[in-house]
């Protein structure tokens, strides 16, 4: 998740603005458990959600996060030689809040949308002395 936050912050720095409408049905009873592929990163600006596509490494499996039953979280990335990097941590959910990790290292986000095929998570973070509200969109295949 920490990598996700950094990717979101860096993506925001070079963001090409393309607006999309916002759907807020985070109260869905769809399951969070399973593989979720990175799809888009963005932010809320002027009442609109603004996104750029996530750049998967060409020729490699798509990067994803996985929420495993019992509280195991995996963040799986692929590099230019298709080498796989897996970061493992714990996860928990309370209402519309997802928390990755524990204690001082824990990172939390708010579920903005959860359906059987789409997950949108919003996080607030500090970067370069400024506060950003980042949104990451995941899809399930």
Q: Is 8 helix (H, G, I), strand (E, B) or coil?
A: helix
- CA neighbor of 107 nearest in space, from 138, 75, 64: 75
As to burial, measured by CB atoms within 10 angstroms (0-12 exposed, 13-18 middle, 19+ buried), residue 49 is buried
Per-residue model confidence (pLDDT) at position 132: 79
Per-residue model confidence (pLDDT) at position 5: 39
Per-residue model confidence (pLDDT) at position 28: 57
Break the chain into its structural domains and give their ranges. 2-139
Per-residue model confidence (pLDDT) at position 29: 67
Contact predicate 40/12, CB 8 Å = no
Q: What is the mean pLDDT of each run of 10 residues along the chain (141 residues)?
A: 40 32 52 97 84 96 97 96 96 97 95 96 86 92 86
Pairing of the two strands 34-45 and 19-20: unpaired
Within a 10 A sphere around the Cβ of 108, how many other Cβ atoms? 15
The tokens for 117 are: 């095929």
Total residues belonging to the chain:
141
* Multiple choice CATH, 2-139, 3.30.70.20, 3.50.30.30, 2.40.128.280, 3.60.140.10: 2.40.128.280
Per-residue model confidence (pLDDT) at position 13: 32
Per-residue model confidence (pLDDT) at position 131: 80
Cα 3 to Cα 6, 57, 63, 113: the distances in Å are 5, 16, 12, 21
């Amino acid at each position: 998740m920490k990598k996700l936050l950094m990717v979101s912050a860096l993506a925001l720095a070079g963001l090409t603005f393309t607006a999309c409408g916002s759907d807020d049905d985070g109260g869905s009873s769809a399951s969070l458990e399973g593989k979720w592929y990175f799809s888009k990163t963005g932010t809320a600006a002027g009442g609109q959600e603004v996104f750029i596509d996530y750049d998967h490494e060409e020729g490699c499996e798509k990067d994803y996060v996985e929420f495993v039953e019992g509280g195991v979280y995996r963040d799986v990335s692929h590099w230019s030689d298709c080498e796989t990097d897996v970061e493992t941590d714990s996860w928990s959910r309370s209402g519309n809040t997802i928390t990755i990790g524990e204690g001082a290292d824990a990172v939390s986000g708010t579920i903005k949308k959860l359906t059987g095929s789409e997950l949108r998570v919003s996080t607030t973070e500090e970067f370069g002395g400024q506060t950003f509200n980042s949104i990451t969109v995941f899809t399930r295949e």
